[in-house]
Structure 1
Amino acid sequence: MFHSSGHNHRMDVFNPRRQKEKVVIVMGATGTGKSRLSIDLATCFPAEIINSDKMQVYEGLDIVTNKITKEEQRGVPHHLLGILDPNEDFTARDFCDLTSLAIESVLGRDRLPIIVGGSNSYIEALVDDHDYKFRSKYECCFLWVDVSVPVMHSFVSGRVDHMVQNGMVDEAREFFDPNADYMKGIRRAIGVPEFDKYFRYGPLLDEETRARLLQQAVDKIKDNTCKLACRQLEKIHGLRNNKGWNLHPLDATEVFRKRGKDADEAWEKLVSGPGAMIVGQFLYNMTAEVPPHIGSLRVPAALAAATH
């Protein structure tokens, strides 16, 4: 495991011979494990995480927007997460401005910025800005956590059921406003407008009709989430195939087909281990083959030696 200490990390993590600072960007469709990978990487390398999900930037609706919990963050500093008033607009330009500030702040602490989230159009606006200032300042390593579409859709459906069990309906009810604009602020999030009819008419209806309205809302959330995942995937393919982004795919499909310890082992073998190796090579300009099993995200000896 790479352990950070009190000394200056920039000479370790960032090659002093290069002018560009280094940034890691973790991409993928909703529910594929982007946040989990970013945490794994941040416990392996001295790093801080910058959220690039345009709904998770808002305060509130933690279940609806599937925010990473404090426990899941494992002490890793997060930026642009739950900081914005729910009624404010948050544009791609706003994201670029705040993320640029966050990157400089993280680099100022001699840490690696890891940008993670599903708002790929915002990431594109950041990286491929009109005058290419971003690419002139930073060198990027793109990790793409991928899951086959049928497996992803099945998981998304189960995740929505789990969110409902964890209090999603009551959380969304607190934000219900019959005069709300679902095109503004956090109310654009999937899991808010779908409940409108249920919250609006439910109290006036009999129990059976009310239950049917609730199920229709949940089914619509599942459908819209699957459609979102497909759009995200299409966008990622476009960035790779049409714009030439050098994305490193990490196929997590087998992880989602397994359970318990087997799933954790598959995650280390197929996602977190190779991901750590790719980032290590990116940071230290080393070449090495990905071992079949890294286990507990231990940085390979060749990479670890480069840090001392």
Structure 2
Amino acid sequence: MNKLIVIVGPTAVGKTATSISLAKAFGGEIISGDSMQVYKQMDIGTAKITKDEMEGIPHHLIDIKEPTESFSVAEFQERAKSLIHKIQQKNKIPFIVGGTGLYVNSVIYDYDFSQSESDPKFRMEMENYADTYGGIALHEKLKDIDPKSYRDIHPNNTRRVIRALEVYHMTGKPVSERNDQQIVSPYDATVIGLTMERDLLYERINKRVDLMIEEGLIDEAKRLYALGVRDCQSVQAIGYKEIYRYLAGKLTKEEAIEELKQNSRRYAKRQLTWFRNKMEIDWFDMSEAREKKLQEIHKFLEGKLF
């Protein structure tokens, strides 16, 4: 079995720093498992890793798309699987690092997308619906079209609800009728999850947003807005859609920043729910003594690899 290390967790929990430390220690290369860091010119709002922060570790699937282009889980899966093979051919260990659970899971369990194409526009519409009306209202959309998925999928598991709606939208058949996921992974995958006490995580998220504003997030969004990047998948992301509402005069600057913080906190909560419901993960709480915890993760991973 081919070794694969996966690091997941909510936004602002410290995945980047942890992944660099582990990749340096174990001879790894990192594949970004973030659906937004694929976009060029979108650095601050996506908390994209800088060249200096990489510390010489090769990173993949960053800055590969123009902001006007779409990017799907199926394309991510195809690219990531190819990269995993190439990294392993170099006798290095591939790391997938990111918070987009569906993307990560599509690789670990080799989802079969051949039976239904994805529809990024529809998915974006459903994400906006969930943000506006909540996860329970989105979940109710499954009730008549896919009763089994309605029963089996938790309302908080927004990504999986959207995937079920998308499959029905594209094929007219419930996702529950399809073998959409293999039980056994084609990889010898170790999944490390980083978590944190909620109040501390939310404090880190709020500080991150403040730092983004200081670093020029509003100017970054203004440049995209001026280039005509409007009704695109990329700028529907948290961090841009709120600033766009400010630029359109729908919110004050202060209201946009507060909405960004609130949406980021809600997203972190959804991420944790998704990971706990959908993946087999070895969790590490990073609330205190981060260096000591990092040493613990190193020892754990050493036992998995050697």
Amino acid at match of 1:167: G
Pairs within 5 Å for 1:124-143 = 124-128=105-109, 129-130=111-112, 135-143=184-192
- The CA RMSD measured in Å over matched residues stands at 2.0
Residue pair 2:108, 2:186 contacting (<8 A) in 1 also: no
User: Per-residue displacement from partner, 1:113-171 (whole Å, max 9, x unpaired)?
Assistant: 01000001111222222476795531000100101111111110111001101111111
Paired residue total: 238
Pairs within 5 Å for 1:94-173 = 94-128=75-109, 129-130=111-112, 135-173=184-222
Secondary structure (helix, strand or coil) at the match of 1:61 reads coil
User: Per-residue displacement from partner, 1:78-127 (whole Å, max 9, x unpaired)?
Assistant: 01011111111111101100100110111111100010000011112222
Tell me which stretches of 4 or more aligned residues in structure 1 moved more than 4 Å.
130-136, 177-182
Where does residue 190 of structure 1 map in the other structure?
A: 238
Answer with 1 or 2: which has the greater Rg.
Answer: 1
Determine if the alignment matches structure 1 residue 231 to structure 2 residue 231. Answer: no
Specify whether residues 45 and 179 from structure 1 end up closer, same or farther in structure 2 by C-alpha distance, changes over 3 A only.
closer
Secondary structure (helix, strand or coil) at the match of 1:25 reads strand
Residue pair 2:242, 2:256 contacting (<8 A) in 1 also: yes
Q: Percent identity?
A: 30
For the residues of structure 2 that align with 1:40 and 1:69, how far apart are their CA atoms? 15
For the residues of structure 1 that align with 2:51 and 2:215, how far apart are their CA atoms? 16
Specify whether residues 42 and 84 from structure 1 end up closer, same or farther in structure 2 by C-alpha distance, changes over 3 A only.
same
Where does residue 215 of structure 1 map in the other structure?
A: 254
For the residues of structure 2 that align with 1:180 and 1:65, how far apart are their CA atoms? 16
Amino acid at match of 1:173: K
Where does residue 251 of structure 1 map in the other structure?
A: 285
TM-score (norm 2): 0.74
Residue pair 2:68, 2:229 contacting (<8 A) in 1 also: no
Gaps of 5+ in 2: 113-178
User: Per-residue displacement from partner, 1:225-254 (whole Å, max 9, x unpaired)?
Assistant: 0011000000011024xxxx1x11111112
Amino acid at match of 1:269: K
TM-score (norm 1): 0.73
Cα shift at 1:197: 3.4
For the residues of structure 1 that align with 2:223 and 2:79, how far apart are their CA atoms? 28
